Amino acid sequence: MRSSFLALLSASLALGHAIPGKLQARDVGSDELSQFSFWVQYAAASYCLDDYTANTGASVSCSDNLCPQVEATGAKIIYDFSNTTATDTAGYIAVDKTNKAVVLAFRGSYSVRNWIADVEFPYTDPKLCDGCFAELGFWSSWTAVRDPISKVLNETIAANHDYELVVTGHSLGAAVATLAAADLRTKGHPSATLYAYAAPRVANSALAKFITAQENNYRFTHTNDPVPKLPLLAMGYVHISPEYYITAPNNATVSASEVQVLQGEVNWDGNTGTGIPSIGAFAAHHWYFEEADGCIGSGTPLKV
Ligand SMILES: *[C@@H]1O[C@H](CO)[C@@H](O)[C@H](O)[C@H]1NC(C)=O
Ligand SMILES: *[C@@H]1O[C@H](CO)[C@@H](O)[C@H](O)[C@H]1NC(C)=O
Ligand SMILES: *[C@@H]1O[C@H](CO)[C@@H](O)[C@H](O)[C@H]1NC(C)=O
């Protein structure tokens, strides 16, 4: 099923224009903004080798000053994962006593450019709801690590009843985080909060509606970042709602008026409306309140 990319794009645009646009839009407040720019630091830390291969009890830390506010909390890593599965799902679980949070963070894959070039995004049934389908690669990345993570989260939350579970990631890590949060909410963690930065589409409309209805979803896009435009609408994929659409330029401090909240699974007023996915726009993929993937190690085969 390798259809022409251009044919899919035109079909995507035709389909998109038949769908109503925004239902409502608003700017965010400064309290929300400080939350968003804080939690992305946990997503950024997931790219740092020292965090996804940490010794139990190590503090979350980042090179290049990418997570100073997280470092200030003294958050400790209690579990990490990498290199253990065919999907190479990587990340960590940390306990943040300052914010009373247990944080599950997924690293974005180094091969996001390959992923974009792939064009094929097969579905699988995640058995979360009737008629629901999830992108196979992202769902497999989650199920490959699900059992030990679910066990650690159950034990940790049981020992800290008043702690909130936060699931986060950037890029392909945000895609896995979205499906992980959706699944964990059905398995003992109904109010888990998701911070998904630069996530691709992960679901068909039925699953996107299911995840949207679970609530506590913060999904960010930035200007014309190509990654959230894939897989294409024409392939049957849509986004969870709402979209927090960042309009600030690359490398600039983001102000509250530069984050718009857009409702709906297809928002032509947001990232989806900024044209066909272009590799030339990749700079926008890195900048989510900070250089979210700045900790990617040198010498890795495919830097994003
Ligand atoms: C992952 O496995 C590869 C090959 O076995 C090895 O070269 C690499 O250092 C490992 N990475 C980590 C983070 O353990
Ligand atoms: C964690 O708890 C939930 C809810 O009780 C349960 O559905 C799930 O199977 C548990 N996970 C593990 C790995 O035991
Ligand atoms: C933003 O920062 C990155 C990394 O430091 C740099 O490569 C890029 O050129 C900068 N872009 C702009 C528009 O300043």
Q: What's the gap in Å between 8 CA and the centre of ligand 2?
A: 40
- Ligand 2 atom showing the smallest separation from residue 188 Cα: 4
Domain holding 137: CATH number?
Answer: 3.40.50.1820
User: Is residue 202 situated within a structural domain?
Assistant: yes
In this structure, are strands 25-27 and 259-262 parallel, antiparallel, or unpaired? Answer: antiparallel
CA pair distance 6, 14, nearest whole angstrom: 12
Q: Which residues pair with 102 in a beta bridge?
A: 95, 165
What confidence tens digit (pLDDT) does each residue in 90-138 have? 999 999 999 999 999 999 877 787 778 777 899 999 999 999 999 999 9
Q: What's the gap in Å between 288 CA and the centre of ligand 3?
A: 13
Q: What's the gap in Å between 153 CA and the centre of ligand 2?
A: 9
Q: What's the gap in Å between 88 CA and the centre of ligand 1?
A: 10
Residue 49: band (very low, low, confident or very high) from pLDDT cuts 50, 70, 90: confident
- Residue 121 amino acid letter: F
Q: Ligand 1 in contact with 82 (CB < 6 A)?
A: yes
User: Is residue 63 situated within a structural domain?
Assistant: no
Q: State the catalytic residues.
A: 171, 225, 285
- Ligand 1 atom showing the smallest separation from residue 88 Cα: 1
Query: Does residue 64 contact residue 137 with C-beta atoms inside 8 Å?
Result: no
What confidence tens digit (pLDDT) does each residue in 277-297 have? 998 899 999 999 999 999 986
Closest protein CA for atom 4 of ligand 2: 188
Q: What is the pTM of this model?
A: 0.90
User: Is residue 48 situated within a structural domain?
Assistant: no
Residues above pLDDT 70, as percent of the chain = 88
Which of 83, 75, 88, 89 lies closest to 41 in space, CA to CA? 75
Closest protein CA for atom 3 of ligand 1: 83
Q: Which of 128, 142, 150 is the pocket-test mutation for ligand 2 (most atoms within 8 Å of CB)? A: 150
Q: Ligand 2 in contact with 131 (CB < 6 A)?
A: no
User: Is residue 223 situated within a structural domain?
Assistant: yes
Mean pLDDT of 56-78: 96
Average pLDDT over all residues of the chain: 89
Q: What's the gap in Å between 281 CA and the centre of ligand 2?
A: 41
User: Which residue range forms the structural domain that includes residue 229?
Assistant: 20-43+95-102+109-286
Mean pLDDT of 184-197: 98
User: Is residue 303 situated within a structural domain?
Assistant: no
CA pair distance 292, 171, nearest whole angstrom: 9
User: Is residue 74 situated within a structural domain?
Assistant: no
Residue 302: band (very low, low, confident or very high) from pLDDT cuts 50, 70, 90: very low
User: Is residue 268 situated within a structural domain?
Assistant: yes
Closest protein CA for atom 3 of ligand 3: 251
State how many domains the chain has.
Answer: 1
User: Is residue 61 situated within a structural domain?
Assistant: no
Residue 17: band (very low, low, confident or very high) from pLDDT cuts 50, 70, 90: very low
Which of 70, 14, 16 lies closest to 201 in space, CA to CA? 16
- Ligand 1 atom showing the smallest separation from residue 49 Cα: 13
Residue 259: band (very low, low, confident or very high) from pLDDT cuts 50, 70, 90: very high
